[in-house]
Structures are given as C-alpha cells and as structure tokens.
C-alpha cells in the first residue's frame, strides 16, 4: 500500500488523479482533520504533526508515503528526508507534492540536478498562489532558484481561500477573492504577466477556473494533481519495490483523525466520488527529535 497524507480534504484532489493513473494500486489516505488547517500553524507544529501522521501510515503497512499537502511538503519534507528517515525508517520513503512542481517549472531533476529529458523549462515570471505558511517558508523561490536562476518567482498568500472553499461560498464570492489575490500578485510583479502559475494548495484545483479567469490569457496554469500523479508513476517505475501486489480494482482506505461522518460529508467534492472515512485516535505531534 502507498500512504497519502494531507491535513484535511485537499489531498483528495491529488488522490483522485493517483487512482486514475494507477488503478491497480492500493492506497491509504490519512486526513488530519482534527488539526486542520495547517496553513497558519508554526513550522515546528507542522513538522511534528506531519511526522506523527507519516509514522501512523508506516504502521498501517505503507513503506512509501506521499505528502499530498503543499504546506507539509514545503515545511517538513526536506528535514524529514535528511534528518529523520535515515535513522528511524531507512527502508521507507516519503515524497511530497511540492517536488514535482519544482521539477515541472525548472525541467531539472530533484534527485540529481540534471535536465529532465523531454521537459521544457518555464521562462520569465512564475506565480505561486499558496497558503500563508507555504509562502512564508520561501520553499518555492529557493528551490526554483537553485535549479533555474533565470526564473523569477513571485508568491501570493491566499488568505482565507481554503476556508471559503470548504464553506462552499458562492461562485461569485470565490471569483472575487481569487481576482483579488491575482491583482495583489500582479502589483507585486510590477504588472508583468506570469508565464506560468502554480496553485500551491491542493484545495485550489476546485477553483482553478477562477484563477484561469483572473490571470492573463497567456499564463499557463499548471495542473498539480496530474503532475504529481505522473511523477509518482515514474518513481514507481524506477523503484518497483514500493509497488504493492496489484489488485484488479485497486482500492483506497480513508482514515481521519477527526469526525469520520463530518469528514465523509464533504469529501466527495474533492475526490469526485462518495468517500467513507474511518476514525482513528487523535494524535499529537511527538516531542523533540
């Protein structure tokens, strides 16, 4: 089984593409609804909660876990891979939805720093729309600059957008909010039109049409769930030991640290099909590591 983790519902947009791309694979999805949202939490808090969730998925039998949460990926992934995994779970792996987006923008491989065959790097200005914590981490500008110094990254925190999406605000209100974020970013960019835009939160695919309407027609909107699914499929091709025994119909088990009925009621909007969550005992982040 492959574990998929998110602070709440957003990762279901990624999981939807994963199950379409890898229909015979079995997944375990864990939503930490009891502690969501992560976007305004302190970095240490995010790291501790993410680590606790990853450990729980390892105990479920997952040797590979994908962080389908941009905030967790930006804040916790590199530290977990470098400091925690080698000592505590050397035969397991943790990947993030952040890395494939950096590779898509730069056309440079994360693992070896070499150009990715058949990929085209973006040019000029790149817009990143994300949660406050993802923007504050500076992860996108840093990692992009290391691989493609010619690219200029401008980030925009989309305050309250996750809550508005989950609260099912009217379409007109969502469009108004998104148009405001785009206007702020364009002002910060000096009016320059971005060549590409990243929706750096897994909730945002639900309002991708709002971003497309607000951005210049020449801006290419990157489809994060599809890019992440293709990246995971490529990873599994190269690391077959993380593939489980194939099932004719695959399957997903849905776990939540929150109320399973409440989590299930909203999940179909993100996953595109009915979802039944199982409740698990709430977990607190572990102590200092």
Q: Which residues are catalytic?
A: 69, 201
Say how many C-beta atoms besides its own lie within 10 A of residue 112's C-beta: 8
| Closest CA relative to residue 221, chosen from 288, 129, 98, 287 | 129
Using DSSP, how many helices (H) and how many strands (E) does the chain show?
Answer: 13, 10
- Both tokens of residue 141? 């500008």
**Whole-angstrom distance, CA of residue 234 vs CA of residue 251:** 20
**DSSP H or E segment with residue 171:** helix 171-188
Q: d(Cα 51, Cα 286) in Å, to the nearest integer?
A: 8
Helix (H) or strand (E) holding 272: none
First-last CA distance in the chain: 27
Which residues have CB under 8 Å from 243's CB, separation 6+?
25, 236
Distance from C-alpha of 73 to C-alpha of 90, rounded to nearest angstrom? 19
Grouping H, G, I as helix, E, B as strand and the rest as coil, residue 95 is strand
């Amino acid at each position: 089984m492959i574990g998929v983790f998110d602070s709440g519902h957003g990762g279901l947009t990624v999981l939807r593409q994963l199950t379409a791309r890898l229909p015979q694979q079995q997944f375990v999805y864990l939503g930490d609804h009891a502690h969501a949202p992560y976007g305004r939490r302190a970095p240490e808090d995010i790291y501790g909660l993410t680590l606790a969730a990853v450990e729980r998925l390892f105990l479920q039998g997952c040797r590979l876990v994908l962080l389908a949460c941009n905030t967790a990926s930006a804040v916790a992934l590199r530290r977990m891979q470098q400091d925690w995994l080698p000592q505590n779970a050397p035969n397991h792996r943790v990947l993030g939805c952040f890395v494939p987006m950096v590779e898509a923008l730069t056309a440079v491989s994360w693992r070896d720093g070499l150009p990715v065959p058949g990929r085209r790097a973006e040019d000029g200005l790149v817009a990143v729309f994300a949660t406050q914590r993802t923007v504050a981490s500076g992860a996108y500008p840093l990692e992009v600059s290391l691989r493609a110094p010619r690219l200029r990254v401008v980030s925009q925190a989309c305050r309250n957008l996750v809550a508005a999406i989950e609260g099912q605000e009217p379409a007109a209100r969502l469009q108004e909010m998104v148009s405001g974020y785009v206007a702020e970013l364009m002002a910060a960019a000096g009016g320059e039109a971005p060549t590409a835009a990243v929706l750096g939160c897994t909730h945002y695919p639900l309002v991708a049409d709002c971003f497309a309407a607000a951005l210049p027609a020449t801006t290419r909107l990157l489809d994060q769930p599809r890019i992440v699914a293709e990246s995971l499929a490529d990873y599994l091709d190269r690391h077959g030991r993380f593939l489980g025994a194939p099932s004719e119909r695959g399957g997903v088990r849905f776990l939540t640290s929150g109320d399973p009925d409440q989590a299930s009621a909203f999940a179909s909007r993100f996953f595109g099909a009915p979802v039944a969550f199982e409740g698990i005992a709430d977990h607190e982040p572990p102590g200092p590591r």
